[in-house]
Amino acid sequence: MPSNNPVFGRGFARSGMGQQSTGWSQSPQPYGAPGQYGAPTQYDPYAAPSPYGTAATRYMTMDDVVTKTGVTFLVTVLAAAAVWALPGTMAWSLALPAVLVGLVLGLVISFKQIANPAATLVYAAVEGVFLGAVSEAFNTVFQGGIVMQAVIGTFGVFAGMLVVYKTGAVRVTPKFTRWMVGALVGVLVLVVANLIASFVTPGGFGLRDGGPLAIVFSLVVIGVAAFSLLLDFDMADEAIRRGAPAKFAWYIAFGLLVTVVWLYLEILRLLSYFRE
């Protein structure tokens, strides 16, 4: 079944679908019949290609998605823990370089749709450095286990949305996808507008100053990030159904990491509002 999605189109091209073996196009010659050069030949059934032979390209399975995603998250956690272990506030100085490198690398992976372990794991390490620095800063300023609460909340939302997706309580339809894209663009525009306004008016539009409006906006952003997970889950299922190559699981893991990091940071920000 042809796909309009260029990701899956390239996946089919790389996997070699549509190419048939030429070994089956030649029928065996009967015993004693003259061969190509006039010599009698005998058909050897063991010389024929086996229909049970392994394909040159292995297709992606759900086990691939789970394994690659687990490895990606593990690299992020280890990098964050290593940065947190640095003495004093040394880790804080790594936040800005890490977020800039992560932003550029993430855009390159997204637009070029790079699906290989090197790109995904390097991005995971950079995100881990950023998360480690930010988490240590929040933990120092607000204390009270705010980071652990954010981690528990993040994986709680992740598990809840996975259940929602698997049970079909919310179906990912083209209309739902359009609504989610609109919501993502809307959130991005509001965040950028608030940032620009903050240079003119202290606090900007009040979307990030910790007040009641900031709490409501943060809850909305958490909702958008949570429902974005449904798009990631659906992309994994769709890739499996369309026979994407096994290495495409690294791109799925990258997408899940981006969404989970965004969700974690927003939950961490919301908890800090209540601490203030």
- In sequence order, what DSSP letters do the residues of 129-187 get, joined into one string? HHHHHHHHHHHHHH-TTHHHHHHHHHHHHHHHHHHHHHHTSS---HHHHHHHHHHHHHH
Q: What is the distance, to the nearest Å, from the Cα of residue 1 to the centroid of all Cα atoms in its chain?
A: 25
Interior angle at CA 37, CA 31 and CA 39, nearest 5: 40
Give me the pLDDT at residue 42, please: 53
Give me the pLDDT at residue 56, please: 60
Give me the pLDDT at residue 205, please: 84
The per-residue pLDDT string of the chain (276 residues; one tens digit each, 9 = 90 and over) reads 333 334 444 443 443 333 333 333 344 444 444 444 444 445 444 444 444 444 467 889 999 999 999 999 999 999 999 998 888 777 788 888 999 999 999 999 999 888 899 999 999 999 999 999 999 989 888 877 899 999 999 999 999 999 999 998 889 999 999 999 999 999 999 999 988 988 888 878 888 888 889 999 999 999 999 999 999 999 999 999 988 899 999 999 999 999 999 999 999 999 999 886
Cα distances (Å, whole numbers) of residue 247 to 11, 60, 102, 242, 244: 9, 7, 21, 14, 8
Q: Give the whole-angstrom CA distance, residue 101 versus residue 191.
A: 20
Domain boundaries, the chain: 62-275
Q: Give the whole-angstrom CA distance, residue 117 versus residue 121.
A: 6
DSSP 8-state assignment for residue 64: H
Sort residue 78 into left (φ over 0), alpha (ψ -120 to 50) or beta. Answer: alpha
Q: What is the distance, to the nearest Å, from the Cα of residue 79 to the centroid of all Cα atoms in its chain?
A: 18
Give me the pLDDT at residue 206, please: 84
Helices (H), 37-145: 62-84, 95-112, 117-142
Tell which residue, 76, 80, 75, 91, has the closest CA to residue 140.
91
Cβ proximity of 253 and 109 under 8 Å: no
